[in-house]
Structure 1
Amino acid sequence: MRLNHLARMATCVAMLVLLAGCAPKSYSVRHPVPSENLVFGTAPPATAITLVDARAPSDRVFSSGVLPASLTVEGAPLDPSGYLARNLQAELVSRGLQTQVGNAGDALPKLEMTTFRVQNHRANGFSPFVTLTFLGGDLVTPAGKQRLGVFVKRGKVPVWSFDEVIEPTFNQPLSLATKELAAKIAARLHGARSSDADVDRLTAKIATRGDDSYLDVYALGFTNNPKAVAPLAGLARDPDEYVRLAAISSLGTLGANDQLDLLKSIYRDGNLWQDRAMALKAIGDLDSTEADAFLAEQQAALQAKAGDKEADWTLQIVRLYL
């Protein structure tokens, strides 16, 4: 019996070692590169945005998961509110909106950041290292509050070292989250959108397909231009996983309420969790009475499955909006 017990313990230890796969305790990430060649067609007056860190005490761990590791940027621990303020400002300015984003004061417009974190997962030593990036808050203006949410899912199997996961599972999702939030703020504060020519350029580029085509699909959503809805709807069932997820997400970013039935069908019939999860995220983005009712209905059903990994992950997305 004792030998069997020791054998089981040895097996468990071996499995843990295999799962970790020499995973580091810290990753060094970079600041995002602001968007290029995607200037909004409006030039509103200079705007100052106050960013308030309104995260609950229980939601202040920025990096967590089955392989816990801290994140640093420029040699220092990543400060979520400072990181977001700096890069949100850089993105808005790069797109032609003269904007200052600061962490002091209470002036409007104000972004109350309620969620900003990265959660990782890895099923075993041969499976992808996956990150789920969540960003959310309330944009407060004299007209009231508007809830904004962002969710990005990425994964990479490290072959030689865990350094290979930093760009696809940390840098790119953090960049996309910042860019999506910037596009949503620009739309709500200024009605800002990119030109039809930008939509045509990106659509033509996506048709040629490269390794990073999914980034161009996300960029279609960041145009805030309704002309991008049709090509994105066509990509929402694309065989390429990350192109497909980017298209589904971007329909929400554009507020494509005419695509609600498509998003519902993806949520109900999608074979993969990530497709269903991204569809629910996009439905939350729509911010309509029908979309909110559907989201609340799914929240109740998911809460009944508490403890199930995928249900718990999906509930985290729903909570960005409800």
Structure 2
Amino acid sequence: MSSTMVRLFIGMIALLGITGCSLKYTADDPPAPGFVYQNVDRKPITMQVVDQRDSVQYMVGISGLQRVELTLENLNDPVGWIANGLVKEFNARGVPLQLAAKESGAPADLTLTVRKYQLINHRASGFSAWESYNIFLGQVTMGSKSCSIPSFFFNSKIPVWSMDEVQKPCISDPMAVVVKDVASKINQCLFGYRVSNDDLQKLTTAALSTVKADSPTACFPLIDLGGTNNPAAMETLKTFAGHGDSFVHNCAVSAIGTLGAQNEFAFLEGRFNYFAANDRVMPLKAIGDIGSSQAQNFLRQVQAGELYREENGVRYCTDLYLSR
């Protein structure tokens, strides 16, 4: 039997089983960042996280997954999970952040209000890719500083032998990217810490090596570059934004938005126009990160177009950034 026939047979089996079943997954802890910020104030910082989500359902299935029960077995409290993930991420970057004790009467140093946090999953049929759209919207406040914190990440995978194959590319990895993206944006808003040029060079070398080796973890050195808050990382990320592997260029483009793409609108618009279908989502996310009137007008133009109506990822990302 040819490989094509085998895949068709597997797809038919998957299609038959996609209705009325349940799929259970776990959320892995995000990998530790490969850098530490320089000149960090070592005074401990307390963070209060307030749950004001417009929907408390985290794991959501749409289209072919609408009638499938999707469960993250180790995640009963999504907001608690991302709060703990942010603390670990900041600590690993050298920032002494900790969650405010609930029983303490003392006010927290900063407050993160979570307004939206969902992992939306789409699969049209047993023959198509599993697509995940990771959505976060919050507001961080510390003294007189306050910033909207949106985050979005898209990835997809066609499972061949087992539905377990979507665990890492469509669940754990994108969830980790969002934790890191949110942490980086909080740092930019409140602290402004950066990675030194020497450490940035080491990160760049690690990213080049990991991508060259075609490693399944190649995304995270690129996400690290976006989290450095060092503008010198931009040219490397722009190079990776043209990589042939969609996961690699999606991570690079996302990191461009995280790093600060105020001067990269034309580049990101070019990526948006060059990429096809759902690969356009991450340039759209990075344009949304710019937050300028030019960026917002671009999002509104996309919202009025055919791609917005056809591609779920484009629609969710556009709506998120226009509601920030």
C-alpha distance 253-166 of structure 1, shift in aligned 2 (>3 A): same
Change (3 A) 1:20 1:263: farther
Quote the residue 1:257 is aligned against.
262
Give the Cα–Cα distance (whole angstroms) in 1 for the partners of residues 252 and 313 of structure 2.
20
**Which residue matches 2:289?**
285
Identify the match of residue 95 of structure 1 among 85, 93, 106.
93
Partner of 1:320: helix, strand, or coil? helix
Q: Give the Cα–Cα distance (whole angstroms) in 2 for the partners of residues 188 and 320 of structure 1.
A: 19
SS at 2:264 equivalent: helix
The range that moved more, 46-55 or 104-113, is: 104-113
Residue type of the partner of 1:62?
Answer: Y
The answer for the alignment partner of 1:3 in structure 2 is none
Name the structure 2 match of 1:70: 70
Find the residue that maps to 2:151 and give its secondary structure. strand
CA separation of 1:23 and 1:169: change in aligned 2, threshold 3 A: farther
Deviations 1:218-255 (A, max 9, x none): 22112121111011112222211111111111111011
Q: What are the Cα deviations for residues 126-162 of structure 1, in whole angstroms up to 9, with x where unaligned? A: 3222211111211123335311111111222222221
Distance verdict in 2 for CA 1:281–1:33, change over 3 Å: closer
Contact 1:226 1:254 in 2 (8 A): yes
- Which residue of structure 2 aligns with residue 28 of structure 1? 25
What is the letter of the counterpart of residue 61 of structure 1? Q
1:244-282 Cα offsets, whole Å, 9 max, x none, are 111111111011211111112222x13422332111111
- Alignment of 1:185 onto 2:186: yes
Once superposed, what is the RMSD of the aligned Cα atoms?
A: 2.6
Q: Does residue 161 of the first structure (1) align with residue 162 of the second (2)?
A: yes
1:60 paired with 2:59, answer no
The 1:103/1:148 distance shift into structure 2, 3 A limit, reads: farther
Cα distance in structure 1, aligned partners of 2:307 and 2:251 = 27
CA drift of 1:16 comes to 9.0
- Structure 1 unaligned spans of 5+: 1-13
TM-score (norm 2): 0.83
3-state SS of paired residue (1:257): coil
Asked if the contact 1:122–1:130 (Cα under 8 Å) also holds between the matched residues in 2, the reply is yes
Q: How far apart, CA to CA, are the structure 2 residues paired with 1:31 and 1:49?
A: 23
Q: Which moved more, 1:108-117 or 1:199-208?
A: 199-208
Structure 1 residues 15, 26: CA separation in 2 closer, same or farther (over 3 Å shift)? closer
Q: 1:318 and 1:19, CA in 2 relative to 1: closer, same or farther beyond 3 A? A: farther
Letter in 2 for 1:293: N
Post-superposition, which runs of at least 4 consecutive aligned residues in structure 1 deviate over 3 A?
Answer: 14-17, 19-24, 102-108, 296-299
- Secondary structure at 1:159 match in 2: coil
Matches within 5 A, 1:84-233: 84-102=82-100, 104=102, 107=108, 109-208=110-209, 209=212, 210-211=214-215, 212-233=217-238
Task: Indicate conservation of the 8 Å contact 1:26/1:71, yes or no.
Answer: yes
User: Residue 93 of structure 1: CA displacement?
Assistant: 0.8
Query: What percent identity do the matched residue pairs reach?
Result: 30
Q: How many Å separate the matches in 2 of 1:206 and 1:157?
A: 26
Q: Say how many residue pairs are matched.
A: 300
Is the partner of 1:164 in helix, strand or coil? helix
Aligned partners of 1:233 and 1:259 also within 8 Å:
no
Contact 2:254 2:286 in 1 (8 A): yes
| Aligned-partner SS, 1:60 | coil
- Using the TM superposition, give the Cα deviation of residue 31 of structure 1 relative to its aligned residue in structure 2, in angstroms: 4.0
- Shift, 1:185, TM fit: 0.9
Deviations 1:86-117 (A, max 9, x none): 11111111111101134858745211111111
The alignment's TM-score, normalised by the length of structure 1, stands at 0.83
Give the Cα–Cα distance (whole angstroms) in 2 for the partners of residues 223 and 87 of structure 1.
18
Q: Which moved more, 1:117-126 or 1:221-230?
A: 117-126
Kindly provide the amino acid, as one letter, of the partner of residue 291 in structure 2.
D
The question of whether the paired residues in 2 share the 8 Å contact of 1:92 and 1:182 is answered with yes
Q: Distance in 2 between matches of 1:16 and 1:309?
A: 27
SS in 2 for 1:134: strand
- Matched residue, 1:81: 79
* 1:58-107 deviation digits (Å, cap 9, x = unpaired): x2221112323333344xx5311111111111111111110113485874
Rounded Cα–Cα distance in structure 1 between residues aligned with 2:274 and 2:17: 30
Corresponding residue for 1:10?
none
Q: Following the alignment from structure 1 to structure 2, what is the Cα–Cα distance between the partners of residues 231 and 276?
A: 20
What SS class does the counterpart of residue 148 from structure 1 fall into?
A: strand
The 1:231–1:138 alpha-carbon spacing in structure 2 relative to 1, beyond 3 Å, is same
SS of 1:239's equivalent in the other structure is coil
